[in-house]
Structure 1
Amino acid sequence: MSILVHDSNKAACRAAAAALQQGCRAALVRPAGTGKGRIVWEMLAEQPDTRVLWVASCAARLELRRGLAKELGKTLDGSVRLMDCEQLAAQSALGWVALAEFRPGLLVLDGWREMSARDWTDCVQLLFRLCPEAKVLALAEPDAPGESCRAAEELLGDAVVEPLTLGGALADGLLPMPASYTALLWPQETAMARLRAEVKNLRVPGTPDPNAEKYQALSLAVEQMPSVEVLLARWLPDAAGRYLVLCEDAQTAAQMAQQAEALFGAGVHTCCADALSSDAEPFLTDEADALRLLVCVNSPAVETPLTGISGVVLVRRTAEAPAYRQMLARALAACGSVPVAELSAAFEGLTCVPQLRKECGEKPFPLSEPLSACRRAYRQLRRALDAEWERYFAAAKQMAAKKLPLDVPRAYTFEGVAVGRWLENQRLVRAGKKNGRLTAEQVARLDKIGMNWKKRLELAWENGWASARRYRDSHADLLVPVHYKDKNGFALGEWIVYNRQRYQGGSLSDDRIERLESLGMVWDTGSILWEKNYAAAVQYHLEHDDLEIPVKYVTPDGMALGVWLGSQRAAYKEGTLTAAQIEKLEALGVDWANRNDRKWQTAYEAAVKYYSAHGNIDVPTEYIDEDGILLGKWVSRQRYAWQNPERSSARVTPERKALLDELGMIWEKTDSWQHRYELAAAYKKEHGSLAVPAQYRTEDGIWLGSWLSRQKLMLREGKKLSAERCAALRELFQGENTRRLTATVPPACSVREQNWLDNYQSAKRYAEKKGTLLVPAGYVDESGFRLGVWISNLRAARKARPESFQVTPEHIAMLDAIGMQWDAREAKWDGAFRRAEEYRAAHGDLLVPVNYKTGDGFCLGDWVRRMRESYAAADDRLTAAHIQKLEALGMVWTMPQES
């Protein structure tokens, strides 16, 4: 049974699920209390096997989601894990690896518009790197005060589905309407002082003040208005009831708690909480016959509404409409349809509620306006002040049009307008050094005409910041090359380096640090590159269950991961890795020993197994153990390295020799020539001749036919053989045909041909087993034959040496019969294209997610991406025939987000 009641939420649930299916990300933007969390659980009910990592923006939101899960009877820490950004940032290296091993199929970013740039960098982006295949579902409120993280907005801003405003939620019944609404001004002195300063800033000394009369009218209206204490007493629905006092910020909450008795009367009981979701039990269980207030800071609404609330008081310090709407939505979600009183510290705040009532449709909530006379007087003064501001701005705009600088002395006038004094006041107001009003829109208009807000050095920094912002908007990061200059010739790369140096030296101000971090500034460029490589190492570890990365291994997106890991081992030995980096790598089980040491240890462990089974390590030279280790050759190499240290690339240290001695290693092996001679004599005695088949090996792995061929050649040439050995060989070969030894095959078949046929049989077995002859170059079959190398040599021979014995017409026909692909690159391309055809048949398009893998593990998404890159680069390897075949499947060469 669905846990969603409202049709609006059901539609949002369907839209989000469809967006995730198609594009791997979706964002739900809906007011507090409208059921975003329930929508997520409804979606998860349709995907019970999906693993979910649910990341809340703050502790209050985390507590809210835990409460919802408990109410719905959902289990956390099973297939759904819930944590906040602070908990994520505090994860140990092992904790991050555990999250990657959890392999979430869905990341829920709860409150993404409240996440800071640091949250995004330290938590979210790291999650994206460690969980590259996870889809992303983001939740946010439409009215989030301030600016959200730019990177978050760029990723999720265009993924919003079924957006809902506060007015829409009230009209649809998703949130309860206020039973009544009253807007009041508090503290009045603060609001009047701000207006008085604005009037003064526009007045020219020695001239009549055109706004003085209107200001006096407003001042008189405020004086004639009953005090806020009286108005609050009239508004209180229940003089002994419980009231939620929701404050815009901690500063406002502290002020309200201090002045609660002055505003609401003596004897009031005040309970303070850090957040709406904090424990309100003392407040709810207070049965005193007195007015009871729960004063808390604006925070995510509680999932279970507070009961027995008589009314809500919203206390606002600023006039920001988003903050007002968010606070009202959270209060209504927490308390239901109750009377609401608003205490605003600015006249502009009184204008927010009429606009909201218009959005509520035909039946808006009742509005009481005891300050209507004040509001009318304020509107008249506001229009006059705005007109006066426009007059000064028009003069400044004319100056800019005539190429005159706006950085002029305070006493400067332009065509009778005191522009210098006005411009200086705008700078001081914006810097917070003077009381007044300057809206974001006015700042933008002044910016457009070239306003200089700072002194020369400050202005230069602002120019650099503006260039950095443009770079961030176009490149999605601030990893600016050192020698980069923007289109205006500004050396942005050097400017970024300069600010990094000042940051590391502790001489960059907190304000500038915060502003650069809002653009995604990376203070240590090496760290971000290190983290990207580390994330790739985590993926390798998850796939292979170890970190034994081959030196030449490169990830699908081109990262030389094998080389990187080698550099980390070297840095570890040099002591240049940080403690955090060491911890992260050790969480993956890294072996700090170099590759040669690890290979030696692995082979030694195989020798230990052989010793346990045979009682010695007298291993035949060609012996290969069940793990594919060429143990016979390894033992021989250790012996040779010990006897010939100056001629061997291998090293047998005293420690290694001691380990091998424990296994009974024989360092001075008996004469192998004599051993082979005796084997040949025994073979002749048993078979009556020395016609040894080419593929014949003795029990201890010696290729006897090859050895006999070499001895005949040396005997014929008289080289490298002692007189004693020459005499012994002549006796051995007595009665044998002097031509080259052949295998026991038909007379027309030479040894060379028999070798080729034997190799062919290995290839045939591989083709029957694998269904293809695309043999990896390093593949060795069960008999130790290097089939991959042989197949590669055949292709090279046919291409470069068509007269070669290896590729006669008969040989080619035999190979074609078992599916030989002479052009391996084209064959691999055809295999990938076949998978693309299957994807197109299943999905109706070729918009393959970059992390998509087929059922057999082929990275189809990465292959499609590389085809697009090859097309854009006009790579010759992507032929016209390839392009035609891909376009027939509906290939989109430029993805929409790239255009």
Structure 2
Amino acid sequence: MLLKPFSHSDQREANDFPIDRQIYSAWHLLTFRSLSTSGNQDKNHKKWMERFQELQEYKAIHGNCRVPTLFGCLGTWVKTQRGLHTTGNLMKDKQEMLESIGFEWRLRKFVELKTQHNEDMWNSQYDALVKYKEMHGDTLVPRYYPGNKELGIWVNNQRRNMKNGTFRARPDRKAKLEDLGFVWDPQEHFWDAQYNALVKYKEEHGDTLVPKDYPENKELGLWVTTQRASLKNGTLRARPDRKAKLEELGFIWDPHEHFWEAQYDALVKCKEKHGDTRVPRDDPENKELGFWVNEQRRQKKNGTLQARRKAKLHDLGFVWDFDDINEEAWLESFEQLKWCYANPGVVFDSALRAWTILQCRLHAKGSLAPHRKALLDEIGFEW
């Protein structure tokens, strides 16, 4: 039986009778509730259809109706539809509409398919890595490897999985990669490889002074320079094990200081052998030492010689002034001549004879220093 609300005339009649007024009120309330329920149903249906349209748009973009729960209102709505379906409270027409666009009520099958897909994909990339190693001899695939960009990204992901601990759930994959010689930390691997190359260099050359542009292994030269820079800027402090390993090998942290000390030691030996530090610039025995000695004088003259080095050379009796060197050499020849004059009959050697001729020529030109002429006159030198 359909309920029909009272008209205004009915209301006036009811006002005349108290009992009829009560019936009117009850009838009016029932009618209002019926109309309200109908309005809410229309509103809910409209909202449902709006979400359904959003789901259709989602499928057009993603190819499925598997909306994540955290996808906002649509994700929550999709979860609600599955819950209503499970409890049998979803209206049949809505169920049919959802199924018409490929809605999946149970995701377990999808998860199984996705898991199998991931497994197949992992094995496919692993096989590609095996081929890479056969071609290149290692598993160090560049992240953006042009031959297979997916492989480079996959290799990087394996290292990340190892680092964040997700490999604990798949020890079989970890073991499979390690059997292939997979490098988990490429930077550590590179450091160790260069260190081993440095060991071989020392065996061949006797030191660790690899030139920066070492032609046989340019990478090694740059690596050695990088280690020195790391010590200087303090980044090597985080790896004391590396510093200790290099020092055990006799690594030279400052090649310039090492060279200076080596030349100083050579100068000490030269003095022990010859009695002085007057090394000719073009010394046939050690040209490098001759150049080095001259460089120390130049640096002292322009004020760039370190105070520590200057003091060390001074203590050795280093001759700083060329005039002093010439004077010492002249006095040495003069003493030889004086001895010959004191010992008649001694034959002058060719060097002393050449020296005496030179003094005569200088005297004739007027360029012989007066104090030198006076010394020669004292021993009766014949001009």
Q: What is the TM-score when the length of structure 1 is the normalising length?
A: 0.23
Q: Which residue of 2 aligns with 1:565?
A: 224
Shift of 1:457: 5.2
Query: How far apart, CA to CA, are the structure 1 residues paired with 2:105 and 2:137?
Result: 41
Query: How far apart, CA to CA, are the structure 1 residues paired with 2:283 and 2:364?
Result: 27
Q: Deviations over 1:426-474 (max 9, x none)?
A: x7xxxxxxxxxxxxxxxxxxxxxxxx68255555544433433342344
AA at the equivalent of 1:518: D
Q: Deviations over 1:316-343 (max 9, x none)?
A: xxxxxxxxxxxxxxxxxxxxxxxxxxxx
* Kept after mapping to 1: 8 A contact 2:143/2:149: no
* Kept after mapping to 2: 8 A contact 1:485/1:491: no
Q: 1:454 to 1:518 in 2, by over 3 A?
A: farther
- How many residues are matched? 242
- The answer to whether structure 1 residue 599 and structure 2 residue 263 are counterparts is no
* Kept after mapping to 2: 8 A contact 1:453/1:459: no
Q: Which residue of 1 aligns with 2:278?
A: 618
Q: Which residue of 1 aligns with 2:300?
A: 642
Q: Which residue of 2 aligns with 1:521?
A: 182
Q: 1:609 aligns with which of 264, 269, 278?
A: 269
AA at the equivalent of 2:155: I
* Kept after mapping to 1: 8 A contact 2:279/2:290: yes
More helix by share: 2
Q: 1:477 to 1:688 in 2, by over 3 A?
A: closer
Q: 1:655 aligns with which of 303, 308, 313?
A: 308
- The answer to whether structure 1 residue 534 and structure 2 residue 195 are counterparts is yes
CA RMSD in angstroms comes to 4.4
Query: How far apart, CA to CA, are the structure 2 residues paired with 1:588 and 1:503?
Result: 32
Q: 1:576 to 1:546 in 2, by over 3 A?
A: same
Query: How far apart, CA to CA, are the structure 1 residues paired with 2:319 and 2:329?
Result: 18
- The answer to whether structure 1 residue 686 and structure 2 residue 357 are counterparts is yes
Q: How does 1:178-327 map to 2 (within 5 A)?
A: none
Shift of 1:663: 0.6
Q: Which residue of 1 aligns with 2:162?
A: 503
More strand by share: 1
Query: How far apart, CA to CA, are the structure 2 residues paired with 1:466 and 1:610?
Result: 66
Q: How does 1:392-791 map to 2 (within 5 A)?
A: 454=115, 460-486=121-147, 491-509=150-168, 510-511=170-171, 512-555=173-216, 558-577=217-236, 578-592=239-253, 594-625=254-285, 628=286, 630-645=288-303, 651-670=304-323, 683=354, 685-686=356-357
* Kept after mapping to 1: 8 A contact 2:281/2:287: no
Shift of 1:505: 3.8
* Kept after mapping to 2: 8 A contact 1:533/1:559: no
* Same amino acid, percent of matched pairs: 30
Query: How far apart, CA to CA, are the structure 2 residues paired with 1:518 and 1:624?
Result: 60
Query: How far apart, CA to CA, are the structure 1 residues paired with 2:164 and 2:317?
Result: 61
Query: How far apart, CA to CA, are the structure 1 residues paired with 2:318 and 2:302?
Result: 16
AA at the equivalent of 2:270: Y
AA at the equivalent of 1:523: W
Shift of 1:523: 1.8
The structure, 1 or 2, with the larger RCO (C-alpha pairs under 8 Å, 6+ apart) is 1
AA at the equivalent of 1:476: G
Helix, strand or coil at the partner of 1:606 = helix
Indicate the larger mover: 534-543 or 669-678: 669-678
Shift of 1:637: 1.2
AA at the equivalent of 2:141: V
Query: How far apart, CA to CA, are the structure 1 residues paired with 2:365 and 2:157?
Result: 83
Q: Deviations over 1:251-298 (max 9, x none)?
A: xxxxxxxxxxxxxxxxxxxxxxxxxxxxxxxxxxxxxxxxxxxxxxxx
* Kept after mapping to 2: 8 A contact 1:606/1:629: no
Q: How does 1:40-55 map to 2 (within 5 A)?
A: none
Q: Which residue of 1 aligns with 2:93?
A: none
Question: Mind listing any 5+ residue stretches in structure 1 that lack a counterpart?
Answer: 1-408, 412-419, 428-451, 646-650, 691-726, 733-899
Query: How far apart, CA to CA, are the structure 2 residues paired with 1:676 and 1:612?
Result: 18
Q: Deviations over 1:104-130 (max 9, x none)?
A: xxxxxxxxxxxxxxxxxxxxxxxxxxx
Q: 1:496 to 1:689 in 2, by over 3 A?
A: farther
Question: Mind listing any 5+ residue stretches in structure 2 that lack a counterpart?
Answer: 1-103, 334-350, 368-383
Query: How far apart, CA to CA, are the structure 2 residues paired with 1:490 and 1:665?
Result: 65
Shift of 1:728: 8.8
* Kept after mapping to 1: 8 A contact 2:213/2:221: yes
Query: How far apart, CA to CA, are the structure 1 residues paired with 2:208 and 2:283?
Result: 27
Shift of 1:475: 3.1
Query: How far apart, CA to CA, are the structure 1 residues paired with 2:271 and 2:212?
Result: 31
Query: How far apart, CA to CA, are the structure 2 residues paired with 1:567 and 1:576?
Result: 11
Shift of 1:621: 3.1
